Amino acid sequence: MGHPAIKGTSSYARKSTSSHQEALKRLGAVSGLTAAQDAVHAFLASQLDARQIRITKIAASPVGDGGWDVEAMILVPDLSIKSLDLELSQEVLEQESCLVQLDAAMAVRAYELLGQNN
């Protein structure tokens, strides 16, 4: 015969399991945010030659496919100054705002420059 107190699952065990599952979901969301941030940093640095990147907003994609919409402020070389081919003591940078859309695999689905911020 078994012990009567061991029969079934106690309310403490149910609460503990539920808390653990909620913590895992939060951890998954945090790791998703971190992965999205890392993917955007890599994309902006390599493709737009961003010198400085500041993520301003990360949101789940409204498409509902597990992707992310990430907004960022970036400092990029001023192409109009660069095209003059002048010798400068310092690089001239301009601040841009952009939106990067990622799919669930953290691949860039689309990006858009939202405009300059002076």
Domain range for 22: 10-116
Asked if the structure places residue 5 within a domain, the reply is no
Within a domain: residue 3?
no
Residue 4 domain-assigned? no
Range list of H helices, the chain: 11-47, 79-83
Lowest mean pLDDT among 14-18, 48-52, 85-89: 14-18
pTM, two decimals, is 0.67
Q: How far is CA 85 from CA 9, 75, 81, 92, in A?
A: 74, 19, 7, 12
Establish if 97 belongs to a structural domain.
Answer: yes
Tokens of 51: 């010198």
Asked whether residue 90 is domain-assigned, the answer is: yes
Q: Express each pLDDT in 43-64 by its tens digit.
A: 999 998 899 999 999 998 887 7
Q: Note the pLDDT of residue 66.
A: 85
pLDDT given for residue 28 in this prediction: 53
Total number of domains constituting the chain: 1
pLDDT given for residue 13 in this prediction: 43
Residue 84 lies in a domain: yes
In a domain? residue 29? yes
